[in-house]
Amino acid sequence: MAMNTNRGMTNPIVSRVTNFDDAFTMSDDRASYGGIMAKTLYFLATILLGLGAFLYIHNYYAVEHFTAVEITEGYVIFQNEMGIVGGVLIATFICALIAAFVPATIPFTGTVYCAGMGYAVTFISYTYAAVYKGIIIEALALTILIIAVMSALFASGKVRIGQRFRTVVYTTLLVSVLGGLAFMLLLWIAPESALVHSIIALQSSPIGIVFAVIGVLLGAFFIYFDLESIAETVHNGLSKKYEWYCSYSLMTSVIYLYLKVLQLIARIQDNRS
């Protein structure tokens, strides 16, 4: 039986997605926690596929075909790898945009995004590990801990997040993204400018750590929002097609959180040295 899917939806993203009536329609075949879990595991598998692709290219193909550049003792990258990662990031960005505006494409665009980010995140983690000993294990452990804490808070039902706070979180994310893009543009145009050097120095200072903590908090809140979206999707009896959206959104939040945790640990270690 048809129902008003927007009623009771506290998550603005889920509310927006339900407006795609042609892409997602109500049916007796409703979304379930089991279905969302299965699709989440599927996206996780595609991330691991991207990880495996990096390990193969870096450890086997690149050794024979690319020129190595040493980062630190025991760690090397290959010149062509930067081009590969750049292409992968462009592809994932395009897929993320398509997924945001056409949710019905998520089974495909989400797959490409997760596989691409699996490759890119592994490359990023490798470059961090070359400078910061043990950072990958620390970042993974802290990411898992944060997810567990947010899951426990959500399950307890004692934490309620209002619309105003959500607006602050999403606005902060937008400012952060725009600021990052502006810095990347400045780094490309004038890499040796005094402003670039000042920003880089600031990132390793206590102020930089504060901004990194904010990034981690944003990632934690996104995990909570995704858990709420999943609960609302199942509770409101939406079509199983929504399972793809919930799973994809959760994985993007996990990736974002891990990268921010990685950044935070690196800045803390820089500040200690």
Of 58 and 87, the structure prediction assigns the larger pLDDT to: 87
Arithmetic mean of pLDDT over the chain:
83
Residue 173 domain-assigned (yes or no): yes
- For 89-121, what is each residue's pLDDT tens digit? 999 999 999 999 999 999 999 999 999 999 999
Domain of 152 in residue numbering reads as 30-272
Residue 201, phi then psi, degrees to nearest 5: -65, -35
- For 244-253, what is each residue's pLDDT tens digit? 999 999 999 9
Q: Model confidence at 187, in pLDDT bands (50, 70, 90)? A: low
Residues with Cβ < 8 Å from 106, sequence gap 6 or more? 99, 244, 245, 248
Q: Model confidence at 44, in pLDDT bands (50, 70, 90)? A: very high
Q: Model confidence at 194, in pLDDT bands (50, 70, 90)? A: confident
Residue 70, phi then psi, degrees to nearest 5: -75, 130
The position carrying tokens 């600021």 is 179
Residue 9 domain-assigned (yes or no): no
Of 71 and 87, the structure prediction assigns the larger pLDDT to: 87
Residue 59 domain-assigned (yes or no): yes
Residue 12 domain-assigned (yes or no): no
Residue 72 domain-assigned (yes or no): yes
d(Cα 122, Cα 69) in Å, to the nearest integer? 18
Residue 97 domain-assigned (yes or no): yes
Cα pseudo-dihedral 217, 219, 220, 226, rounded to 10:
150
- For 127-186, what is each residue's pLDDT tens digit? 999 888 889 999 999 999 999 999 999 998 877 777 787 788 888 888 877 877 776 777
Domain count, the chain: 1
pLDDT value for 3: 36
Residue 66 domain-assigned (yes or no): yes
Torsional sign, CA 27, 31, 35, 39: positive
Is the pLDDT at 257 greater than 90, yes or no? yes
Q: Model confidence at 6, in pLDDT bands (50, 70, 90)? A: very low
Of 65 and 7, the structure prediction assigns the larger pLDDT to: 65
pLDDT value for 191: 66
Residue 15 domain-assigned (yes or no): no
Is the pLDDT at 4 greater than 90, yes or no? no
